[in-house]
């Protein structure tokens, strides 16, 4: 008995009045073109080559802005422009590369090549998507239950969910029916990594001043570290290993929503049932380029709910030679140049704002980062160019990357929380974010919701970078 229907490649049904209006406009336009043509020389519709040339010009201008931004904020990094999309970030000669990759038998390189067009397409999309796995996603995605669900459960003993009942049992404790959080829900968010660098600056109060704070794994939050990392706790992204020991990490705090990055299994489920905190599974693609790990996922998670993402405790300063965490002894030999370069690129694409000891004394001045308007134009240009390259229509809009459409009944299941919430959870006092009704959200979130017609977007994990699964919530007739 399926409560959701899904149809690959089906476009959203256009509103009839809109179609009529468009036809009308088109007619008026044709007539005016005809009348102009009869009296003057014909106005030329720009050819695709001309349109592409225009996008290339736009992007080339943007590349110079990125280059300037890297020069002024990169603490020695420089950007060499290759073309309108590609650039190379370079560390100054003499930079010590101490991190040895045993697999490839090389030290970390001092140059990193990026495609700014792809990067901007990828990260701008996160502002509109849901990054928490939901039941509606599994229902609507064609291989949702059989294939995809199986990938999110460890110890299943099968590559596919041949027994859907069993898979539902294993996931139900983590699976809300619909997205529990909304795009644009928060104005400012702090994503706090675990770097030992955090102890060099007292960012605690600044971090706590954000609307929501995102932390990683076992990062302690207590009086001892309050000066450096603050006390506010809203979201915590955890890997499977950490999820098992969640109770002592939370230390009695029921105020944090937990998002498990990778997989769940029976043992984690048992832990979850003892916690009052909401617990979810992360839903997002595996990044093939750039820095990996929990840090990147935290940024994706934050970006799917926040306008501004301030990043603390990531190793983004030069001269970092040890891998340290603010709450444990240093380990040896780690110099994540690749991460540093990528974070700097993200800052210069308006995705995050970097905060670190070497950047602490600066006035908060972001004027050398491209503006929202510049980023929007660059995004549109990158989008058109890419669609032309692959021979697709270039109509820009929030649904332009929807590969799969599905419809679900809005009354199906709880708005958030799962059908299998434990007693502990049901009786808890957690009431911070996930249960917020639409009218309690900030205006930007409500406006976005209205503009999207209530449709939720999800990344199609494992597939092409920008393919989306789009879920319409059909109004019930009753």
Ligand X SMILES: *[C@@H]1O[C@H](CO)[C@@H](O)[C@H](O)[C@H]1NC(C)=O
Residues that bind ligand X (CB under 6 A): 94-96, 124-125, 128, 163, 165-166, 169, 220, 222, 251-252, 319, 397-398, 427-429, 448, 451
Q: What beta strand segments (E) does 25-172 contain?
A: 78-81, 86-90, 100-101, 106-107, 111-115
- Residue placing its CB nearer to ligand X in the complex, 23 or 316: 316
In angstroms, give the least distance from the CB of 296 to ligand X: 19
- Residue placing its CB nearer to ligand X in the complex, 91 or 342: 91
Q: How far is CA 361 from CA 94, 203, 224, in A?
A: 25, 12, 24
Which residues on adjacent β-strands are paired with residue 347?
none
Contact assessment for residue 156 and residue 147, using Cβ atoms and an 8 Å cutoff: no
How many Cα atoms occupy the beta-carbon half-sphere of 350 within 13 Å? 23
Phi, psi for 127 (deg, rounded to 5): -65, -15
- Residue placing its CB nearer to ligand X in the complex, 35 or 163: 163
Which candidate, 80, 89, 86, places its Cα nearest to that of 344?
89
Which residues on adjacent β-strands are paired with residue 8?
404
Distance, in Å, from the CA atom of 276 to the CA atom of 214, rounded to the nearest integer, reads 18
- Residue placing its CB nearer to ligand X in the complex, 172 or 428: 428
In angstroms, give the least distance from the CB of 19 to ligand X: 21
Alpha-carbon dihedral sign for residues 384, 385, 387, 392: positive
- Residue placing its CB nearer to ligand X in the complex, 63 or 125: 125
Could you tell me the two tokens for 327?
């709450």
Unique residue bearing structure tokens 């404790």: 173
How many Cα atoms occupy the beta-carbon half-sphere of 390 within 13 Å? 10
Contact assessment for residue 126 and residue 154, using Cβ atoms and an 8 Å cutoff: no
What is the three-class DSSP state of 136?
helix
In angstroms, give the least distance from the CB of 165 to ligand X: 4
In angstroms, give the least distance from the CB of 459 to ligand X: 12
Distance, in Å, from the CA atom of 367 to the CA atom of 466, rounded to the nearest integer, reads 29
In angstroms, give the least distance from the CB of 413 to ligand X: 20
In angstroms, give the least distance from the CB of 89 to ligand X: 17
In angstroms, give the least distance from the CB of 363 to ligand X: 27
- Residue placing its CB nearer to ligand X in the complex, 29 or 266: 266
- In the sheet that holds 279-281, the strands lie side by side as 279-281, 257-260, 235-238, 212-216, 186-192, 306-312, 353-354
What is the three-class DSSP state of 473?
strand
In angstroms, give the least distance from the CB of 411 to ligand X: 25
Burial class (CB in 10 A: 0-12, 13-18, 19+), 301: buried
Q: Kindly give the pairing relationship between strand 100-101 and strand 106-107.
A: antiparallel
What is the three-class DSSP state of 11?
coil
Contact assessment for residue 472 and residue 406, using Cβ atoms and an 8 Å cutoff: yes
- Residue placing its CB nearer to ligand X in the complex, 68 or 172: 172
In angstroms, give the least distance from the CB of 162 to ligand X: 8
In angstroms, give the least distance from the CB of 286 to ligand X: 20
Could you tell me the two tokens for 373?
């308007």
- Residue placing its CB nearer to ligand X in the complex, 251 or 476: 251
Contact assessment for residue 8 and residue 404, using Cβ atoms and an 8 Å cutoff: yes
In angstroms, give the least distance from the CB of 444 to ligand X: 8
CA angle 383, 340, 83 (to 5 degrees): 40
- Residue placing its CB nearer to ligand X in the complex, 260 or 445: 445
- Residue placing its CB nearer to ligand X in the complex, 241 or 397: 397
Q: How far is CA 210 from CA 141, 250, 279, in A?
A: 35, 20, 22
- Residue placing its CB nearer to ligand X in the complex, 337 or 367: 337
Distance, in Å, from the CA atom of 406 to the CA atom of 11, rounded to the nearest integer, reads 10
In angstroms, give the least distance from the CB of 14 to ligand X: 17
- Residue placing its CB nearer to ligand X in the complex, 46 or 319: 319
């Amino acid at each position: 008995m399926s409560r959701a229907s899904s149809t690959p490649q089906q476009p959203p049904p256009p509103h009839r009045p809109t179609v009529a209006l468009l036809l009308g406009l088109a007619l008026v336009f044709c007539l005016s073109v005809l009348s102009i043509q009869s009296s003057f020389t014909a106005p030329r519709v720009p050819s695709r080559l001309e349109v592409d040339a225009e996008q290339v010009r736009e992007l080339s201008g943007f590349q110079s802005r990125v280059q300037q931004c890297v020069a002024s904020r990169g603490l020695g990094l420089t950007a060499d422009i290759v073309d309108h999309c590609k650039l190379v970030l370079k560390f100054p000669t003499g930079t010590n590369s101490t991190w040895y990759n045993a697999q490839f038998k090389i030290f970390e390189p001092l140059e990193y090549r990026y495609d700014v067009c792809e990067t901007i397409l990828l990260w701008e999309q996160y502002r509109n998507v849901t990054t928490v796995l939901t039941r509606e996603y599994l229902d609507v995605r064609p291989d949702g239950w059989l294939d995809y669900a199986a990938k999110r459960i460890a110890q299943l003993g099968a590559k596919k969910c041949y027994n859907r009942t069993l898979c539902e049992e294993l996931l139900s404790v983590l699976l809300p029916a619909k997205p529990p959080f909304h795009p644009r829900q928060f104005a400012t968010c702090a994503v706090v990594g675990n770097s030992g660098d955090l102890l060099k600056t007292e960012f605690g109060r600044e971090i706590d001043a954000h609307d929501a704070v995102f932390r990683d794994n076992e990062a302690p939050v207590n009086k001892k570290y309050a000066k450096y990392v603050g006390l506010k706790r809203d979201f915590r992204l955890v890997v499977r290993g950490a999820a098992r020991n969640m109770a002592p990490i939370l230390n009695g705090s029921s105020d944090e929503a937990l998002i498990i990055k990778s997989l769940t299994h029976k043992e984690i489920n048992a832990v979850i049932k003892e916690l009052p905190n909401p617990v979810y599974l992360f839903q997002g693609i595996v990044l093939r380029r750039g820095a990996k790990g929990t840090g990147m996922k935290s940024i994706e998670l934050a970006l799917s709910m926040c306008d501004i993402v301030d990043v603390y405790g990531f190793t983004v300063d030069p001269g970092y030679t040890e891998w340290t965490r603010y709450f444990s002894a240093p380990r040896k030999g780690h110099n994540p140049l690749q991460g540093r370069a990528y974070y700097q690129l993200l800052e210069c694409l308006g995705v995050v704002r970097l905060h670190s000891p070497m950047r602490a004394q600066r006035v908060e001045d972001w004027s050398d980062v491209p503006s929202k308007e510049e980023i929007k134009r660059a995004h549109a240009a990158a989008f058109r160019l890419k669609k032309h390259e692959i021979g697709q229509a270039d109509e820009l809009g929030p649904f332009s990357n929807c590969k799969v459409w599905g419809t679900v009944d809005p009354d199906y299941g709880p708005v958030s929380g799962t059908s299998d919430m434990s007693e502990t959870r049901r009786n808890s006092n957690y009431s911070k974010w996930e249960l917020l009704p639409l009218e309690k959200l900030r205006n930007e979130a409500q406006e976005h919701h209205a503009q999207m017609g209530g449709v939720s977007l999800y990344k199609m994990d494992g597939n092409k970078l920008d393919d989306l699964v789009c879920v319409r919530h059909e109004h019930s007739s009753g």
